[in-house]
Structure 1
Amino acid sequence: MTRFNEHSKPIVSMRLMLGVAVLALLALCSMMVGVMDLSLMNLTDESTQVLLISRIPRTLAVMLTGVSLAVAGMVMQMLARNRFVEPSTTGTLESALLGMLVVALFAPGLGVMSKTLIATAFAMGGSLIFMLLLRSIPLRSAVMVPLVGIMFSSVVAAVATFIAYRFNLLQSLANWTNGDFSVLLRGRYELLWITLVCAVLAYLYADRFTLAGMGRSFTTNLGMNYSVVLFTGLLLVSMIAAITVTTAGMVPFLGLVVPNVVSLLMGDNLRRSLPWVALLGAGFMLFCDLLSRLLRYPYEVPVGTVMGVLGSVFFIYLLLKRTQPRHV
């Protein structure tokens, strides 16, 4: 484990300040990039309205999504005791998507909050089923855990696709499947602030999640209720997944890339690493969103596609690195 002393604290503070500065620069670039040219030095009434209605809300939505999904991935990895899992490889996001589809089919007139609660319940159910699968299947390798999760996610996605095809909802399914922030304006992104609350709660429960990651017996011996801690963590992850799917659509692999990078740099202390996970998650999400807008400017590539490509490459790299034989 990494040891910190009085000499390392200024270094950590400088790195944190540098990270915040880079994040602020990315946020500024996000607000300036678009079809309409803007200049902070010469704002007109029209450009001010564009900033307030479109650019600033979109930037905030991207940052909130990055923070919450990265934290959710870190919590999921602790609870599953595996570095290869995150909401998109455990069936959590797909289960939330299935919940949205059921709402669109049976109760399309429900409000956004009611839809989110139902999607959260479905996401929670999918997360619990995944955890039960891990207990019932003998796993001889850490690589088997994400493979089980991917297969379970594929089954849930196939069920959702069949229902959407059967009831002519494929277009709605496609909108939820691929993350896209181009439609997020003022009044349509505010639900994402709840994910920030969930991320803060995850930080407050960080020590409990760290202990739960060491196993049921270890957690019980320390006088904690393992089931309660597990349920709390899965509930926070499910709520984040449901809100992001409801608001912006699915953004895969973000919760896999960011926690692994932070873990390589800072170790497995959840309370110490979560702020860096949130910071890097927001920055990486802003970078992918900028890339999605610049690849075919003035048109946009869905940010879920960009994140899926980058994240899948990193995921394959992690798998190959883990399975590579070690020479003594």
Structure 2
Amino acid sequence: MTSRNAVVAPGRTAVAKRGRGPWPLVAAATLVVALIVVSLTVGVYDLRAQEFGSEMFWITRVPRTLALVLAGAAMATSGLVMQMLTQNRFVDATTSGTTEWAALGLLVTVLLFPAATLATRMVAASCAAFIGAMLFMTILRRIPIRTMLVVPLIGIMLGAVVSAVTTYLAVQFNMLQMVGTWFMGSFTAVVRGRYEVLWVVAIVTLLVFVLADRITVAGLGKDVATSVGVRYDLILIAGTALVAVAAGVTTVVVGFLPFLGLVVPNVVSMIRGDNVRSNLPWVCCGGIALVIVCDLIGRTIRMPFEIPVSMVLGLVGSVVFITLLLRQRRG
């Protein structure tokens, strides 16, 4: 893996830039609450003028907004975990191939057990994502890393191979359309009775807060972590498992959310520095805000039609990814 110096951008300090008390975070949380309210009020169905407006509000609007909040916070924090464990800013569930493994596990489950429940599919996708993430980590430990750009390239190539296998199986069993919906992440189908498994990723987010200090130390490398009494291998497995569960559950419910875990932690780090524990609330707020804004754009730009949130996220994420590459090159 790369050295810890590769994680901190040139000219930056690893100490978080302190804001003036809690007020900046309070302002950020207020902005997130405002976006949540806007999300609850935006939609094709006129809740006030049409019949059954109150029922539709609780059946569709509230579940969709809760799914946006849960998925945004979980994928953003899981991206931060991946970046710490790999000591690389360009890694998240998308660029490590983890989401592609989750889709493969989900497809295999559907093929073998067509009547599998949503919970069963969630477990299968999470297990496959964990296998893929651990394979990615194993590859990184066995090859020399001369530049930090090699790490996401390995993940992208691994994900491309897994995606090709998934597509081949889907074509063979006439399930290409179903797989296409997984790759095209969207919250359109999120209704009451379908989003509830996403509360699992809320537990994942809380566990990231609990393990934040240990994950930070593990991000300094095995030698440093062992010297201060942290069980490096255990934290590596635990952190990878949290990322896998977040990727697996999110893939089952809404599909891919590309670059979300890449964009938010990097933007927060550029503004506040690299103190992981103090940055976690900001990462959660940023993840929620970004996914809600992208969803609102997708819902309103061609109303009454919807553009999948993954398309808007992919556009934003690719721009930020290229910007980070250019910053790294100048550094």
Aligned to 2:206: 200
Report the CA distance between 1:37 and its aligned residue: 2.6
Letter in 2 for 1:135: R
SS at match of 2:307: coil
Once the two structures are superposed, what CA deviation does each residue of 1:277-310 show, in whole Å capped at 9, x if it has no partner?
0011101110000001112111000111111111
Aligned to 1:36: 45
Aligned to 1:13: 22
Aligned to 1:322: 328
SS at match of 1:18: helix
Task: Say which is worse superposed, 28-37 or 97-106, in terms of deviation.
Answer: 28-37
* Structure 2 counterpart of 1:168, from 168, 174, 182: 174
Residue 137 (structure 2) pairs with residue 128 (structure 1): no
Aligned to 2:5: none
* Structure 2 counterpart of 1:226, from 214, 226, 232: 232
Q: Distance in 1 between matches of 2:17 and 2:163?
A: 44
Residue 295 (structure 2) pairs with residue 289 (structure 1): yes
Query: Which runs of 4 or more aligned residues in structure 1 lie more than 3 Å from their structure 2 counterparts after TM superposition?
Result: none
Report the CA distance between 1:271 and its aligned residue: 1.1
SS at match of 1:260: helix
Instruction: Report the number of matched residues.
Output: 317
Q: What's the % identity of the aligned pairs?
A: 42
Aligned to 1:22: 31
Aligned to 1:84: 90
Q: Distance in 2 between matches of 1:137 and 1:167?
A: 37
Aligned to 2:196: 190
* Structure 2 counterpart of 1:55, from 61, 64, 70: 61
The question of whether the paired residues in 1 share the 8 Å contact of 2:64 and 2:187 is answered with yes
Report the CA distance between 1:178 and its aligned residue: 1.0
Letter in 1 for 2:92: E
Letter in 1 for 2:255: G
Q: Unaligned 5+ residue runs, structure 2? A: 1-14
Once the two structures are superposed, what CA deviation does each residue of 1:164-216 show, in whole Å capped at 9, x if it has no partner?
11111101100111111011111110111110110000100000000000000
Task: Say which is worse superposed, 306-315 or 69-78, in terms of deviation.
Answer: 306-315
The question of whether the paired residues in 1 share the 8 Å contact of 2:17 and 2:272 is answered with no
Q: Unaligned 5+ residue runs, structure 1? A: none
Report the CA distance between 1:2 and its aligned residue: 3.8
Once the two structures are superposed, what CA deviation does each residue of 1:145-174 show, in whole Å capped at 9, x if it has no partner?
111111111111111111111111101100
Report the CA distance between 1:137 and its aligned residue: 2.0
Q: Distance in 1 between matches of 2:103 and 2:274?
A: 31
Letter in 1 for 2:36: A
Report the CA distance between 1:45 and its aligned residue: 6.4
Q: Distance in 2 between matches of 1:282 and 1:79?
A: 23
Letter in 2 for 1:24: V
Q: Taking structure 1 as reference, are residues 12 and 45 closer, same or farther at Cα in structure 2, changes over 3 Å only?
A: farther
Q: Distance in 1 between matches of 2:110 and 2:30?
A: 42
The question of whether the paired residues in 1 share the 8 Å contact of 2:215 and 2:239 is answered with yes
SS at match of 2:247: helix
Report the CA distance between 1:267 and its aligned residue: 1.7
Report the CA distance between 1:239 and its aligned residue: 0.3
Residue 269 (structure 2) pairs with residue 263 (structure 1): yes
Aligned to 2:7: none
Letter in 2 for 1:134: L
Letter in 2 for 1:158: A
Aligned to 2:221: 215
Q: Distance in 1 between matches of 2:22 and 2:178?
A: 45
Report the CA distance between 1:236 and its aligned residue: 0.5
